[in-house]
Chains A and B, each alone.
Chain A
C-alpha cells in the first residue's frame, strides 16, 4: 500500500511538473535569459550554467519542501486561500517581497558584474588573472574587449567573474520564489505523511518542470557580439528594477496595509 502511495505521488508530482512547466518557464525566463546571454557562446558552457542553475533551484525546492512539511497544515490553510485569490493574494507576503528584492540585487551583482569591475580595478593581480582567464577561455571576447575604449565599459564581457556563484544564487532564489505551480506542489507536499515523501514529491515535481528548461540551451548557439552582451546586461538591469520595484512595493503594501 505504501509502495503504491509513493508511486502514485511520484507520478502525480511528475505530471504536475510537466503540466505546469510552461508557467515555470515563463516565471524563471526573465532571470535565466539575461543570465545565459551574458555567458560566452557554446552549448557546453550553457549546459554547465543551466545545470548549476537547476541544481540550486532544486536546493531551493528542498528547502521549501522541508518548510511546508514542517509547518504543515497551518501554511496549507493560509496559502490555499491566498492562492485562490491569484497573484495579488500570493504577493501579499513578506517572503515574496523579500525574495524579489534579493533577486533584483543578485541580477545586478551577477549579470552586470559591477562589484567585480571595481575589484579588478583595485587589484592588479586580479585584473591579470582575469585577463589570463579571458585569453584562455574566450579569446574572441578578450579581443573584442581589448578593442573597446574606456567609454565602452558596458560592452566589456567576461567580467562577471563568479559565474558559478551567480548561477547558484539566481537558481536558489528562483527556486524559493512563489509561483503558482510551486504553491500547488507545496500544498500537496504539506499533506504527505513523511518529510522524505514531501522531498521525493518535490524532486519529481522539479524533474517534470526541468524538462521545460532544456530549450534555454539553444541560447548557446546565439552569436555573442558585444551588442548582444550589452543588451543582455541592460535587460538584467531592467529586470532588477522591475523585481526591486515589485518587491519594495509588496513590502510597503504589507507594512502599511497588512
Chain B
C-alpha cells in the first residue's frame, strides 16, 4: 500500500523488506485516523478564513491543501514512515512556491526583477535567508542591510519583523528541522534528487563528506563578515541560487549581469545537476549558510535522532540515505547524528534493524521512540500546514486562476 501511494521513485537504500518492519511500522486504519484527527482539525482551523473571504480559486486551493496535508499525515501514521511522505509535501512546496511567488511579482511589477525604485521604497519581500547577514550591522550600526520595510505595508506584507517572527517561532519548535519541513527552497533539489535512479558520485561524497559539510559554515562566516563590512546582504546580492527562480536585481550593467550569471550557475549546479547525480540535497548540505546557522538551534531543540548501539550493525544504510551527510561513522558509533541533522527521518526509515530512532532529549534512548516521533511530527506538521500549506494553497489558487475552467 505504501509503495503504491508514492509518486516518487524510492532509492534502494530506503526500501525496507517487510520482514524487517518493526511492530510499530503499520498501524490499523482506525488508530491511524484517530492519530490524524488533530492535524485534520488544525488544517480546517488554519484554512477556514480562506473559505470565508476569498473567491472560488482560493476555496479550491485551501480544500486541496487540507486534504493533501491530512492524507500525508495519515500515511505517516499508517505506515510508520516519515521521510517519503514528508518528501511529497516538501517537493510540492519547493516546486509550487515559485509559481505563486512569480505570479504575484508579475502581477505587481510586470517582471521578476526588482527595480531600484522598489528597493529604495523598501518594497522587497524579506527572505529568511538574509537573517544571519543582518545581525552584525544591526548590532553595531542599528541598520538593517536589506531593502525591505521593518513593519508590513500595503505594498509589502512580507516585512522583516513578520518574517523573522515566523522564522524564530518555528525554529524554537523545529530547530534545524526547519530545513525539511518549512524551507520553501529545499524541495526543488529534493525533487531532482528523487528523480535519479542511482547515486553516481557516491564515492566522492563519502570520501570528502567531512570537508563538504563544513563549507556551509565557511560561507556563513564569510557572508556575515562581508555583509557587515560593506553593508550589503552579500548572500542575496551574489550567492543565492534561488534568485534564479524568484526575484533578482534587474540586469542593468556588467555587475548585475555577473550576479545573474552566478545565480543561474549555482542554481543549475547545486539545485539541479548535483542533486540528480548524488541523490543528496547538495545546496542544503554543502552550500546553504542559513542551514549552518539553523544547525545552531539543534542544540536547544528537544527532538533528535539517536542510534541504539545494541541494535546497530554498522551497515551504514543510514549514512548512505542521509540527504545532507549529517552522519559519519564516528557519530553513529557515538549513537548520535551530527549538528546539521535536519530530522527528515530518512535514516530512521532506512534502518532495517530499527536502531535509528526518534528521541526526546532527557528521556532514555530507544524507549518508546514512536512517542517521540509522534510528538515531533505533531509540532512539525502543524507548522508545515500553517506555513507551507498557506504557500501551497496560494500557488494552487494561482494555477486555478490560469486554468480555463470558469
Contacts and interface: CB of A to CB of B under 8 A. Distances in A.
Interface of B: 136-137, 140-141, 207-208, 210-211, 214-215, 217-219, 221-222, 225-226, 228-230, 255
A240 to B, nearest CB: 10
Contacts of B222: 30, 235, 238-239, 242
21 contacts: A22-B140, A27-B229, A30-B225, A30-B229, A34-B221, A151-B208, A154-B211, A155-B210, A227-B214, A230-B218, A231-B218, A234-B214, A234-B217, A235-B222, A235-B225, A238-B218, A238-B222, A239-B222, A239-B225, A242-B226, A249-B255
Given A33-B225, A230-B211, A87 B219 contact: no
Interface of A: 22-23, 25-27, 29-30, 33-34, 87, 151-152, 154-155, 227, 230-232, 234-235, 238-239, 242, 249
B214 A26 contact: no
Contacts, number: 54
B266 to A, nearest CB: 14
Contact of B221 (A22, A25, A33, A87): A33
Contacts of A154: 211
A202 to B, nearest CB: 22
A238 B214 CA distance: 13
Nearest to B217: A231
Main secondary structure of the interface of B (DSSP, over half): helix
Interface of A is mostly: helix
B149 to A, nearest CB: 23
Contacts of A238: 218-219, 222
4 closest A-B pairs by beta carbon, nearest first, are: A234-B218, A30-B225, A238-B222, A26-B228
B219 to A, nearest CB: 7
A232 B208 CA distance: 18
B225 A29 contact: yes
Contacts of B228: 26, 29
A26 B219 CA distance: 17
B136 A26 contact: yes
B47 to A, nearest CB: 43
B229 A29 contact: yes
A34 B228 CA distance: 15
A152 B214 CA distance: 13
B140 A25 contact: yes
A242 B234 CA distance: 10
Nearest to B222: A238
A230 B352 CA distance: 35
Contact of B226 (A23, A151, A231, A239): A239
Contacts of A231: 214, 217-218, 221
- Most chain B beta-carbon neighbours within 10 Å: one of A27, A151, A231: A231
A22 B215 contact: no
Contacts of A232: 221
A235 B221 CA distance: 7
Contacts of A23: 141
Contacts of A152: 210-211
